[in-house]
Chains A and B, each alone.
Chain A
């Protein structure tokens, strides 16, 4: 009796606490100052903790400073928190900014809020991942299918166009995870018949989990010639796993995605063959530029491809590549 009462009190208190946390997370940032003529663009990202998003933020702030506009950049703590992101979107609409930049965690859940933004006469531009709505004027993003295919082409080149390979993915749900995988898999199936993808598993971009997955794959497939990690955490995890097994660098060819200190170090030391980098700073810049153009009555391009590149030891110092890498 006593225990069950205790538990119900506990659960009720927990519910209240969680509700409070949820509310407070929904209303960060200060509202735009009235009377100030400076233009304000609210950016809602898919996250802020990964280096990739920090680089997008850097690009956005740089372009904002150049144009003399104010930007805020926020995103949920994890890329699974679709509802938290919608609350941020709603709060942004309520603040009545001059424009909104949005990266959709879920392509459907955002549709009603897109209509709300339209009703409030706030122009919306998108970045990284789109919403299934006609409201947004433009999207600045990487062609993830193309980027995955480029990773596959380079993997094939490194392993001599034959043998067994595995993939450590970061998500089987969100669009970048799916497209980077599918672009890779389709390219291998179509143009590299002697390469066999023996396993695809997902480590949520968690370094530790991805390292353990890579080790299990290598144990299960002793002839494995290559591993592809679809984001920074997955790729660094593979590097850690291979290093822990004490394999000779290059015995298992590692192809990664995005940059960061660990991947750059691994490429320099020869443990990792190379990786695909996007242009997150460019995504940030183009998003703010498109929003600015929309406010000024110009129509931004519907799709702004900010590009992706293969980089390895040979071309890492190339100024064009060095500019899009981040540590």
Chain B
């Protein structure tokens, strides 16, 4: 919980969100966290550029951006959920299920490409809606509700696909499907990267300029106070999880397009990478605080780090150690700063 709102009663909900009495301070604090993450990203880029001349090349940088796309899109949707103080463990295997469903629509049911893609994304939204319903109406803890959904999605992806990859190659109505991720609307830049940044802009607008964004923060800061002030928090929580599901669906399309197939055994573990990206970007696991910009930077930090270590031929085992340590340091500095702020406040 945001220290400001945890220790003080919420005064009012205005167009700027929950007014805690010290909006300027909390605004500055969010900026500092973002710039910390941004500084980390710059330091990593500079370090790897000097460490290995193969790192800072056009082809490698676009490679890094492409490898950020899937995790980044998942992370964008999860940012909303985490700001409400929730968690979504179902995004990894949920993504796999949407990819499988897209393939089923297009390859097995011969649906037109657009219909198949939209159908897959809607499956993602449905997964999110069920999560939201279970959490907001049935009052299941988010951790449990989405853990259950994670397993259900994984199982269904395997059952529906018959434990086999479904290939788009050679299917007439799937012509051009791989262009969704790998085509280049802008020369040299894969479309998956364009989709990531476009969605980041959309997510940024939703979070900072709309009622949904305002209530997302309000629920995470103090759900009870938000409800007492007349907001239908159940409805808004369902919407938040549904939005996360939509992003999951888009990630499913992008991964299926990039691989030219729906791989039913992939996806487990992707949720933790996405959550890590959100946390590194300064969004608090306790809710009430976070930003889309931070999440994007967090996802980039992860992929720059992994790519840089690979380019330097660091052993895979040590790569995991380094990434884990970076997550710990990021969360620790964040909590340290929060504690100091709480002490002052």
Contact = CB atoms under 8 A, between A and B. Distances in A.
B328 interface: no
A220 B313 contact: yes
B54 A219 contact: yes
Interface in B247-290: 255, 258-261, 263-266, 268, 286
B266 A219 contact: no
A220 B70 contact: no
Contacts of A17: 144, 147-148
A14 B261 contact: no
B63 A219 contact: yes
B265 A50 contact: yes
A51 B286 contact: no
Given A50-B265, A220-B311, A262-B165, A240 B54 contact: no
Residue of A50, A78, A207, A216 most packed against chain B (CB within 10 A)? A216
A10 B154 CA distance: 23
Contacts of B52: 220
A21 B147 CA distance: 10
B213 interface: no
Interface residues of B, number: 47
Given A51-B165, A213-B310, A260-B165, A240 B147 contact: no
A202 B307 contact: no
B338 to A, nearest CB: 13
Contacts of B310: 201, 212-213, 216-217, 220
Interface string A195-222: 0001101100011100011011101111
A245 B182 CA distance: 10
B145 to A, nearest CB: 10
Interface residues of A, number: 40
B54 A220 contact: yes
A49 interface: yes
B266 A206 contact: yes
B163 A198 contact: no
A13 interface: yes
Interface string B52-92: 10110101100100110010000000000000000000000
A257 interface: no
Nearest to B161: A49
B163 A13 contact: no
A101 B83 CA distance: 50
A217 to B, nearest CB: 7
A212 B68 CA distance: 10
25 contacts: A3-B286, A9-B141, A17-B144, A18-B147, A48-B163, A49-B158, A50-B265, A51-B165, A172-B316, A199-B313, A206-B266, A208-B70, A208-B255, A213-B310, A215-B60, A216-B310, A216-B311, A219-B57, A219-B60, A220-B54, A220-B313, A222-B54, A244-B182, A260-B165, A262-B260
What 9 pairs between A and B have smallest CB-CB spacing? A216-B310, A49-B265, A202-B316, A220-B311, A219-B60, A212-B67, A219-B54, A220-B54, A215-B63
Interface of B: 1, 6, 52, 54-55, 57, 59-60, 63, 66-67, 70, 141, 143-144, 147-148, 151, 154, 158, 163-165, 167, 169, 182, 190, 255, 258-261, 263-266, 268, 286, 306-307, 310-313, 315-317
